[in-house]
Amino acid sequence: MNTKQIKIEQGILEGELAGSYMIFRGVPYAKAPVNDLRFKAPRPAESWDGVRPALEFAPICPQPVIKDGFYDKEFYTDPAYPVPAQSEDCLYLNIWAPSEVKRGGCPVALWIHGGAFDHGFGSEMEFDGAAYAARGVILVTINYRVGVFGFLALEDLRREDVNKSTGNWGILDQIAALRWVRRNIEAFGGDPDRITVFGQSAGAMSVQTLISSPLTRGMIHSAIMQSGGGYKNGLAGAQELPDAYATGKKIMELCGVRYLRELRNIPAEKLVEILPDLYKETQGLAFKPVVDDWVLEEGTDSALENDRIHDIPYMIGCTADDIFKPEGEDGRNSALYKGCADFAEMRTRVSDQPVYVYYFAKRLPGDEAGAFHSSELWYMFGTLDRSWRPMNRRDFILSRTMLDMWTDFMKKADPGNGWRPYSKESFIRTLM
């Protein structure tokens, strides 16, 4: 293996040099949130002496093992791409960058994975940055705390936090990663002032949280929300404190504890084991960002209504057989699709910044699942050859087209390929 060393603020990293691009895996962006740091805002990563290897993907936040059949087969069972070990020491990121540093720096794409805020990780088999680096874009993927570790809200936690925040530990991890990238990405040939934050499902909800937060103002150049962003789309992008506290109380009861110190000492496995019983009581998403008056001063719908989201270029969309699609009806009748269009409509009333809306309608080969939730990931990461599905020439052409559009949007806020910004006279781009 050929390697390359790069000096960042914490020390020297050694990553893999793979021809025209380089990969740095398992780079710490925050201190391990363990022991007394469990359920606290992330702390700065520690420095090291000598050279730190960045050749292996890092552990992922403790979470349920996916065993639902469909998504297990789709993304998690290929032995060539094993799921990493689980550990609370999970705040790491991965970087794919062109091996030749360009003058002025490359645009940067910061990917936030989905997974209902209770599972997922930044090195899933469908994610890869080789195609982005080939197009002159640096891709960064991150792990962040999920489930109880990332979204527990308690009044005691709010009282002990210097900013009186609670329930947004996973979102604060994402913000810490964004800040780390802004401070360090120039060493990899990136431009810290051209960062596109993008994500899918809970990752898209995270992006909408970040572009609604005062903590990230001026840090994000553009944003993409896939199957999770929008206006009143049925997902309820954030929850109020009383609801978050109610979930926190149920978690304490299921763990059989009364005090925060007890909860900090419970084995991580227990905080995962209680989730099925928790879901029986919460119905729907048990974990969501919280309106805590620090990370979020209001809900994401309210921020959009009041023109308080970041005034930047956006791309937003969903798939034809996405969540909330009415059975037997066209996907354009879903709350998610309407929420994307309404987001774009509201932005065009108050801003000259473009909004591009897509509708991914390509039915994937191999079964009858169609354009299911998450199906576009294979295409916009250029990883069709990792899928078990019998992809054909048409699939690969669509993937190349989507990669060109995603990266062109990141470079110049214009995906090209005849895709016009949303307007009453324009159209929502169908990808198929």
Residue type, 387: S
Its pTM stands at 0.97
Give the integer Cα–Cα distance in Å for 257 and 109. Answer: 41
Helix or strand (DSSP H, E) at 233: none
Task: Please tell me the distance from the alpha carbon of residue 389 to that of residue 381, in angstroms, as a whole number.
Answer: 16
The model's pLDDT over 188-208, given as tens digits with 9 standing for 90+, comes to 999 999 999 999 999 999 999
Q: What is the pLDDT of residue 136?
A: 97
Q: Is 239 left (phi over 0), alpha (psi -120 to 50) or beta?
A: beta
Q: What is the pLDDT of residues 370-420, one digit of tens each?
A: 999 999 999 999 999 999 999 999 999 999 999 999 999 999 999 999 999
Assigned token pair, 260: 């925060």
CA atoms within 13 A on the CB side of 86: 15
193 three-class SS: strand
Task: Read off the tokens for 375.
Answer: 């199906």
d(CA 99, CA 238) in angstroms, rounded, equals 39
For 99-137, how does the pLDDT look when each residue is reduced to its tens digit (9 = 90+)? 987 777 999 999 999 999 999 999 999 999 999 999 999
Q: What is the number of domains present in the chain? A: 1
pLDDT at position 237 is: 80
Cα–Cα distance measured from residue 120 to residue 87, given in angstroms and rounded to the nearest whole number: 13
Q: Scanning the structure block, which residue is given the tokens 């944003």? A: 223
Q: Which two tokens stand for residue 361?
A: 């309608």
Q: What is the mean pLDDT of residues 334-359?
A: 96
User: Rounded to whole angstroms, how far apart are CA atoms 29 and 294?
Assistant: 21
Domain assignment of residue 309, given as a range? 3-431
pLDDT score of 145:
98
Q: Categorize the per-residue pLDDT at 245 as very low, low, confident or very high, splitting at 50, 70 and 90.
A: very high
pLDDT tens for 22-31 read 999 999 999 9
pLDDT at 58: 98
Phi-psi region at 322: left, alpha or beta (left = phi > 0; alpha = psi -120 to 50) = beta
Burial letters for 79-113: b for 16+ Cβ neighbours within 10 Å, e otherwise? Answer: eebebbebebebbbbbbbbbeeeeeebbbbbbbbb
Residue 67: pLDDT band (50, 70, 90) is confident
Question: Which has more pLDDT, 359 or 101?
Answer: 359
Q: Strand, helix or coil at 115?
A: coil
The candidate with the shortest Cα–Cα distance to 316, out of 223, 183, 184, is 223
List, for residues 249-298, the tens digit of each pLDDT value: 999 999 999 999 999 999 999 999 999 999 998 887 899 999 999 999 99
The amino acid at 282: T
Query: What is the band of 69 on the pLDDT scale with cuts at 50, 70, 90?
Result: confident
CATH of the domain at 121: 3.40.50.1820
CA distance linking residue 144 with residue 375, whole number of Å: 22
pLDDT tens per residue across span 129-143? 999 999 999 999 999
Tokens read off for 78: 């290929």
Element housing 254 (H / E): helix 241-255
Q: How far apart are CA 144 and CA 165, in angstroms?
A: 17
The tally of CA atoms less than 13 A away on the side-chain side of residue 431 is 31
Average pLDDT over residues 144-158: 98
> In the prediction, which pLDDT does 115 show?
96
Calculate the average pLDDT of the chain. 96
Contacts of 230 (CB under 8 A, 6+ apart): 208, 316, 336, 338, 339, 340, 342, 343
